[in-house]
Structure 1
């Protein structure tokens, strides 16, 4: 391709709205242009990279036995009501009506459509298993589109669906897709992790994994072990129960009292000897000295954990944090240690298991009026003692021998509160986020570390969630009607492009891996007016193009500095610079990765390029 004929409008400066380096660089490199918030046009250079991502995905989906389809983006709203997701998806579902006032949705995903299709076409076990996939534009009305292609309202996605007669078949399909995803992201040249995850709005009754590209700009938090292969997103991650610490470390500043034994702690809580001595005391589950009953202490103007900690000279680990939520119109309370954060997803799952929340219910933080009505105190002074609402207690909070807690009265806290004695532990479990340095739940030596990631793909075991609701049934060998067992598997194609740009860059511009580069070789003559340079550049371009190597020829009448800056920005893997040594048949061979340069003959340059890029 001749650069003079290509729509490749590079920019010297990053657009003011660019929040991520990938967003800025792709706009500067003439790959994308924003049409509206979260809506982008792909220019030729960007479309070429996107096409290479699609090709790799198609090859691996075909290898995994899936068949490509193309399903409608315009979906009847009735399908979404039938599946129960019309309200669950909420305002992110783009809705519209046709001229006959029939309601439709622009598909953010295609579980409903593909289930209805297969349910109408597959009626016997003889047609199972089956796997279908598509690469198509999706639509989600994001509240705040950001980071360019990473969170848009219109995006390109690969979604695949497996259909089996039983759970064993689903397990095989899921395993095949997991393996295919590992091959895809490895071929894309991405640094990634596969992590345990939550199913979210897709739902299902089986396992699920997310594939995360490691990047500081990522909106997801990845929790991983320093010693074993355990990895999960923050919503799903577990931590080993915290170790008890010496009581004296938490009693400074409190009235002297005899320590009381813990009541209601889980029997499985490990002893201190089971943990490394490197555990930070401030993060350990430690007892507060307790008397026969809690002692009321004035804490004026101390509302937050930090303020209470400073006022009473007690570490956050010795304070019980009590937060009120509302689910389905009913208030519930959650108690965690003061140094921990509540995991709302885990709370909601437990409430659903206990019949206190429906599938469609959301968990919302209670307002000040609700807190006052339920606890007798304004926010900041609520505590678990005497509450008359469902109470969920995190296992690390339940393991405290005694602690500080809100008194249910403004300006006061209780000292020496004993879990299990002063408030019930009927609903105890893991209700907090894993934290940096926590013990790994899978191995004894490992510590958890937190990093950021960009979600690229998600695989789900759906089970019969959609087939039962949408009537996708088949006849088994005995002639009995059964629901088809499903799985679904998505990859954000445009997200993968942005993630690759985020990971593949330096201070000069993009640095594309060979598999994704829009072109393999960038040929340029330093002087547009030097006949020898132009002739050699044309010869190299013709020779490489004829050999099937994707080559971009910079034949523009531009200053050398402009050409070099554009070449660095675009990031093509190999650059052949034709300069003054053209009369001697020599060129400069430049590796974009690291910008290493070497003077070689034109013949040697061609040999190296063909060895690296010639199609097999």
Structure 2
């Protein structure tokens, strides 16, 4: 994409009402625009990152054997009355009526709708286990929406639901989700820790929330420094194996503790050497639940068990805050100049800065680089504006592309361009064709 043809409404000044780093930088980088309290338009740069995050979530869900669907954002209140949650959910639920006077609601979560779909079609234990999921917009009417996309009223969420014959099978689904989530966050360049949590209005006996380590996090956590060396993406995990999922889970969960839980802290201290203990803050970006028959019993989601009995299925739900993740990524990856995107979620793989727009040799070199990088299957952003070099560098730093290629007359006379890492700030001079190969190697392309 050529920046002269792109819609990137960056701001020079920091908006006064933006309280946290991610909100400030998303507004300044032209990623979002507020339409109402807690409700945002996603502008091209922000939408591009949102779609990259969504794609990673889809890929890891399907790798774990989960099946995508798409449910409506509007639900009938009758389903919620069946489950007993309609009156008790609270004012966060946006209630409305259609033109015929039927009570409706804008989905804050989807347990009832998924359970209703299941009970309409699945009748036998032979059709289990089953896990279906969606990535869909939700609405919760927060009394004080704040912090941009971190605590908005409208948000994009992945919610999945497993249906199993027994509690043991449902707990395996729970562990499978936990492992798949760790892989998901890892691919985004995030260190996530699954902490035991409260279930809230969703209910259930077992639940973990996933915290991304960041200085601005709302939750405290002790962790083993070696936890950052665990790499699930490098392992061929058999998600159907109860034993393997459990062993990965135990390897990870023995290495952290809540700071506000004295029992967890004492266990942690007994297991982790003092030299490896660290304390940090975390931002919640996902949660998983096992809630047994809480929804299947009142909604009649039963199957035959093979012995002539109709039994309610055991269920769990599993959420990832897709739009919230974007804010968390920025909270965990920024400096005083702007965003620093991890390679896995960057909106563009690199930026090309032309230091002398209008110079025939420099223009030609940039055009050749742009075409060669694109031919490798990468997506570069070419700053071809007639702007001073300082303004171009400031824009690139603000929007946070991981790699910048700087092309100028002086370097071209020596046959080189400059490749700069946004994260480290380190630069090296390379031949143009070598830069293309280096980027292809970084992004694991042939």
TM over 0.5, shorter chain? yes
Write the mapping of 1:91-102 to structure 2, written as runs, cut at 5 A. Answer: 91-102=91-102
**CA drift at 1:43:** 1.1
Q: Distance in 2 between matches of 1:567 and 1:31?
A: 14
C-alpha deviation, 1:88, in angstroms? 2.6
Contact kept in structure 1, 2:352 and 2:381, CA below 8 Å: yes
Query: Are 1:189 and 1:515, in contact at CA under 8 Å, matched by a contact in 2?
Result: yes
| Corresponding residue for residue 510 of structure 1 | 339
Q: Is the 8 A contact 2:61 2:180 kept in 1?
A: yes
Contact 1:454–1:499 under 8 Å retained in 2: yes
- Structure 1 stretches of 4+ with a deviation exceeding 6 A read 225-228, 445-450
* Cα distance change, pair 233–111 in 1 and its aligned pair in 2 (3 A): farther
Q: 2:357, 2:164 → 1: CA distance?
A: 62
1:560 aligned residue = 389
Change (3 A) 1:537 1:171: same
Does the Cα contact within 8 Å between 2:95 and 2:103 map onto a contact in 1? yes
CA distance in 2, matches of 1:186, 1:573: 17
- Aligned residue number for residue 499 of structure 1: 328
Deviation at 1:231, TM superposition (A): 4.3
Establish whether residue 599 from structure 1 lines up as the match of residue 429 from structure 2: yes
CA contact (8 A) 2:402 2:423 kept: yes
- Write the distance in 1 (CA, Å) between the matches of 2:209 and 2:53: 18
What secondary structure sits across from 1:185 in the alignment?
helix
Measure the CA separation in 1 of the matches of 2:215 and 2:322. 20
| CA spacing shift, 1:231–1:470, aligned 2, 3 Å | farther
Q: 1:513 to 1:444 in 2, by over 3 A?
A: closer
What is the alpha-carbon distance in structure 2 between the residues aligned to residue 147 and residue 156 of structure 1? Answer: 16
Q: How does 1:25-44 map to 2 (within 5 A)?
A: 25-44=25-44
Q: CA deviation at 1:222?
A: 3.0
Contact 2:254 2:271 (8 Å CA) reproduced: no
Cα distance change, pair 444–576 in 1 and its aligned pair in 2 (3 A) = closer
Q: How much does 1:224 deviate? A: 3.2
Q: Is the 8 A contact 1:125 1:477 kept in 2?
A: yes
Alignment match, 2:262: 239
1:590 is aligned to 420
What residue is the counterpart of 1:316 in the other structure? none
Matched with 1:609 is 439
Secondary structure of the equivalent of 1:440?
helix
The 8 Å contact of residues 182 and 192 in structure 2, kept in 1 or not, is answered as: no
Could you report, residue by residue, the CA deviation over 1:198-234 in whole angstroms, capped at 9, with x for unpaired residues? 1111102x32111001223223x23436799364557
The offset of 1:556, in angstroms, is: 1.1
Contact 1:77 1:86 in 2 (8 A): yes
CA distance in 2, matches of 1:184, 1:82: 34
Query: Cα deviation per residue 1:103-148 (whole Å; 9 max; x = unaligned)?
Result: 1110011001000110111111111111101000000000111111
SS, match of residue 465 in structure 1? coil
Secondary structure class of the residue paired with 1:562: helix
Asked whether the equivalents of residues 588 and 598 of structure 1 are also in contact (C-alpha less than 8 Å), the reply is yes
Tell whether the 8 Å contact from 2:256 to 2:268 is kept in structure 1 after alignment.
no
Q: Give the corresponding residue for 1:289.
A: none
Offset at 1:443? Answer: 5.5
Greater radius of gyration (CA): 1
In 2, are the aligned partners of 1:14 and 1:28 still within 8 Å (CA)? Answer: yes
Name the residue aligned to 1:185: 185
1:268 corresponds to? none
CA contact (8 A) 1:533 1:583 kept: no
Between Structure 1 and Structure 2, the one with more helix by share is: 2
Contact 1:532 1:583 in 2 (8 A): no
Deviations 1:447-478 (A, max 9, x none): 99864321111010010000001111111101
| CA shift for structure 1 position 609 | 1.5
Contact 1:194–1:211 under 8 Å retained in 2: yes
C-alpha distance in 2 between matches for 1:537 and 1:67: 43
Q: How does 1:91-170 map to 2 (within 5 A)?
A: 91-170=91-170
SS at 1:90 equivalent? coil
Q: Following the alignment from structure 1 to structure 2, what is the Cα–Cα distance between the partners of residues 49 and 43?
A: 10
1:53 aligns to what? 53
Equivalent residue of 1:92, what SS? coil
Tell me, in whole angstroms, the C-alpha distance in 1 between the residues paired with 2:180 and 2:22: 26
Match of 1:202 in 2: 202
Q: How many residues are matched?
A: 415
Return the match for 1:440 from 255, 260, 266.
266
**Aligned equivalents of 2:341, 2:31: Cα separation in 1:** 13
Give the match for residue 245 of structure 2: none
Q: Which whole-Å CA distance do the structure 1 matches of 2:387 and 2:372 have between them?
A: 24
Aligned-residue offset at 1:614: 5.2
Contiguous gaps of at least 5 residues in structure 1: 241-433
Distance 1:521 1:442 in 2: 41
- Distance in 1 between residues matched to 2:224 and 2:121, nearest whole Å: 49
- Paired with 1:214 and 1:612, the residues of 2 have a C-alpha distance of 25
Aligned to 2:23: 23
- Do 1:536 and 1:585's aligned partners in 2 also have CA atoms closer than 8 Å? no
SS of 2:143's equivalent?
A: coil
In structure 2, distance between residues paired with 1:225 and 1:585: 48
Partner in structure 2 of residue 217 of structure 1: 216
